[in-house]
């Protein structure tokens, strides 16, 4: 015992030396590991080389679209980048290094020539907005569907995209999904588990029917189903009572509408260029309609209940088989555009109604203007 009554521990000097060497070795490994974590900046140079090869500019503000475009050539800006817009650069490939930009919340790659996406896209876990419109994608990597923070995903106009994996049902935070202008024949049922969706675009595909599960999407406010091959609608579509805009034009074989008359919040409804032979009187239920397209069907008469749609501002009736309008049409005091055939016989009262309300009576132009509102 020493003077302080503490025990004295005697250690073999060789043992002390061995322990010291062991600690030094462990410290070296830790330091070497930490170096390895930060050293590989080579991916940035590879990304910049790719950008140079594809003539992608440095980050610059585009006054035409009021948005920053291009890829920053500065390390700090690159590592902190949250929005990346590389649209319209004729890109044929996307390097895997894109997956290192993990602070991105918005990525836009529209109007390119991409045929595939690197699996590293799944590393961008902070993405909320992702857009690949107007490319040549044929399939989607499963890693894409691990991006569960996505709220908006646009994949429109990839003409070679014929199917979607069931994993799309993993993107449960999606509110907007664009799948228009592809070649989908049957969307997976898992798509209809995305119950937070408020906007869904399935226009311009090869759909001949809709699954009953579409009735699950009760938060939808806008639904694009135009330019498909639908012959009828499932009764479950009547559950979508929050819909305000529904596009069903250019389904040449669509003949029945009875499922729609529950959708009393509709403000925009386009049924043009179908094969409708009658318009049921239940149309009077849709009293919130502002824009209504019925052109180029096979209607032989217009029901008098059309006069109940007092909020209408646009009405397209050209290309049908009736030669007169019901007198009740004069109740549409908010109408500003009316598209009709030249051989429609108007009564004196109807002529006065058109003149009094300064209605622009055209024979197709107003329909085009009306349809252009879908994309704005």
Spatial CB neighbours of 358, under 8 Å, sequence gap ≥ 6: 336
Residue with tokens 């107007």: 134
What's the distance, CA 274 to chain centroid?
A: 25
pTM: 0.85
Cα 267 to Cα 290: distance, rounded to the nearest angstrom: 5
Cα 271 to Cα 283: distance, rounded to the nearest angstrom: 12
Q: CA-CA distances (angstroms) from residue 82 to 71, 105, 129, 343?
A: 11, 5, 11, 58
CA nearest to 111, candidates 82, 89, 79, 144: 89
Each residue's pLDDT tens digit in the chain (376 positions)? 555 555 554 556 665 565 556 666 655 655 555 444 445 689 999 999 999 999 999 999 988 888 899 999 999 999 999 999 999 999 999 999 999 999 999 999 999 999 999 999 999 999 999 999 999 999 999 999 999 999 999 999 999 999 999 999 999 999 999 999 999 999 999 999 999 999 999 999 999 999 999 999 999 999 999 999 999 999 999 999 999 999 999 999 998 888 899 999 999 999 999 999 999 999 999 999 999 999 999 999 999 999 999 999 999 999 999 999 999 999 999 999 999 998 899 999 999 999 888 887 664 444 444 444 443 3
For the beta carbon of residue 31, count every other beta carbon within 10 angstroms: 10
For the beta carbon of residue 122, count every other beta carbon within 10 angstroms: 17
Cα 5 to Cα 1: distance, rounded to the nearest angstrom: 5
Helix (H) or strand (E) holding 120, with range, is none
Q: CA-CA distances (angstroms) from residue 22 to 11, 18, 77, 273?
A: 16, 6, 41, 81
Cα 354 to Cα 362: distance, rounded to the nearest angstrom: 12
Q: What is the dihedral of CA 251, 254, 259, 261, to 10 degrees?
A: 80
Count how many residues are written for the chain: 376
């Amino acid at each position: 015992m020493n003077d302080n009554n503490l025990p004295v521990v005697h250690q073999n000097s060789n043992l002390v030396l061995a322990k010291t060497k062991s600690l030094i070795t462990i410290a070296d490994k830790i330091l070497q590991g930490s170096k390895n974590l930060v050293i590989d900046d080579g991916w940035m140079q590879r990304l910049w080389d790719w950008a140079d090869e594809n003539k992608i500019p440095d980050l610059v503000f585009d006054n035409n679209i009021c948005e920053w475009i291009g890829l920053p050539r500065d390390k700090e800006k690159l590592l902190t980048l949250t929005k990346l817009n590389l649209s319209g650069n004729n890109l044929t490939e996307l390097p895997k290094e894109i997956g290192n930009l993990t602070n991105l919340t918005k990525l836009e790659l529209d109007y390119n020539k991409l045929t595939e996406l690197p699996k590293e896209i799944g590393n961008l876990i902070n993405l909320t907005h992702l857009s690949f419109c107007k490319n040549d994608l044929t399939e989607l990597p499963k890693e894409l569907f691990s991006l569960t923070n996505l709220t908006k995903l646009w994949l429109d106009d990839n003409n070679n995209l014929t199917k979607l994996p069931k994993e799309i049902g993993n993107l449960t935070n999606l509110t907007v999904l664009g799948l228009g202008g592809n070649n989908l024949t049957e969307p997976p049922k898992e798509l209809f588990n995305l119950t937070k969706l408020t906007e869904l675009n399935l226009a311009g595909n090869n759909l001949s029917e809709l699954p009953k599960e579409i009735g699950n999407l009760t938060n939808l406010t806008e639904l694009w189903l135009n330019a498909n091959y639908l012959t009828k609608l499932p009764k479950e579509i009547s559950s979508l009572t929050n819909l305000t805009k529904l596009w069903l034009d250019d389904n040449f074989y669509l003949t029945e509408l009875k499922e729609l008359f529950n959708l009393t919040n509709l403000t925009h409804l386009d049924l043009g260029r179908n094969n409708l032979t009658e318009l049921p009187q239940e149309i009077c239920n849709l009293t919130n309609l502002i824009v209504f397209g019925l052109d180029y069907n096979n209607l032989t008469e217009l029901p008098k209940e059309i006069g109940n749609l007092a909020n209408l501002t646009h009405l397209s009736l050209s290309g049908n088989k009736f030669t007169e309008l019901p007198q009740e049409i004069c109740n549409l005091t908010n109408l500003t555009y009316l598209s009709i055939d030249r051989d429609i016989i108007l009564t004196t009262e109807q002529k006065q109604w058109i003149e009094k309300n300064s209605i622009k009576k055209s024979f197709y132009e107003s329909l085009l203007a009306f349809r252009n509102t879908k994309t704005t």
